[in-house]
Structure 1
């Protein structure tokens, strides 16, 4: 009888974890913090001193991405070869970059750019970063985002006016 209770508790815990994972996956989050000082290529960023909750805003350049930044905003997608949600995310981001003038989409193979993956603390694919015109990361999503969320994140990244 106690084995049945253990099995039911395990199933309930698994269901709760699954629901939380589904609800959080793909949601665009603000990337808060102060702006990083300019640094030369290859120079390592300083680590934040205040623990995990204190984050510095990262700035990426065309050299970091291997392509130029978008005129108004850039959607950066970290993918891997066998990631099924990455394919759907690629279509969503391509649609958004077509719909919004001056927005470009850059896809980066996470396995070939481990330096950038570590620098940006990418833990899963797909991960989407929304950059403003200067290359500052303003929004971030881990998992497949919804198109409406990406459009709203791009609108937040665009300069006023």
Structure 2
């Protein structure tokens, strides 16, 4: 009977984790747009130039969702004018990934025109949600 209780407990825990992961994966989350000086320097070091909103993707060579994310980002840049794309190989930029709190690939940081991280997505983002978030950033940049 104890073995059955353990199996049921493990199944419940796995189901709860799967539900949590599925609800969180690919969702756009707001970030407090107050970077540290080190984070701002890290973004500039990665090639980010202030002026227009940028979609900064951290990816890796063996990551299949990274390729899907790249296609979504390319569609967003084709849909919304004035958006830059920047892709970084996470394995080659480990210090930058750690500084910016990137723990998995793909992770996309939505950086506003002033060079501050405004939102982030871990996993493949939803095209419609990402377009809406980028349009919000570009509207803020045009004010």
**What's the TM-score once normalised by structure 1's chain length?**
0.78
Contact 2:54-2:112 at 8 Å conserved across structures: yes
Separation in structure 2 between the aligned mates of residue 113 and residue 9 of structure 1, nearest angstrom: 40
**CA 1:70–1:36: 2 relative to 1, 3 Å:** closer
1:126 aligns with 2:133: no
Q: Given the alignment of the two structures, is residue 78 of structure 1 paired with residue 63 of structure 2, yes or no? A: no
Could you say which structure has the greater relative contact order, defined with CA pairs below 8 angstroms and 6 or more residues apart? 2
Contact 1:70–1:103 (CA<8 Å) still a contact in 2?
A: no
> What is the CA deviation profile of residues 69-120 of structure 1, one whole-angstrom value per residue up to 9, with x for unaligned ones?
4753110000011111111100000110111111111110000011211110
Q: Equivalents in 2 of 1:93, 1:70: separation in Å?
A: 19
- Relative distance call for 1:118 and 1:82 in structure 2 (3 A) is same
- 1:7-156, aligned counterparts within 5 Å? 7-32=7-32, 34=34, 36=36, 45=38, 58-59=39-40, 63-66=44-47, 69=49, 72-156=52-136
Residues 9/135 of structure 1: CA separation in 2 closer, same or farther (3 Å cut): same
- Take 1:7 and 1:108, find their aligned partners in 2: how far apart are those partners? 42
2:26–2:122 CA contact under 8 A, matched in 1: yes
Describe the superposition over 1:19-42 as per-residue Cα deviations: whole angstroms up to 9, x where unpaired: 1011011111111153545xxxxx
Q: What are structure 2's unaligned runs of at least 5 residues?
A: none
Aligned-partner Cα distance in 2 for 1:62–1:97: 20
- Say how many residue pairs are matched: 141
Q: Distance in 1 between matches of 2:65 and 2:72?
A: 11
Partner of 1:3: 3
- Answer 1 or 2: which has greater helix percent: 2
CA-atom RMSD in angstroms: 2.0
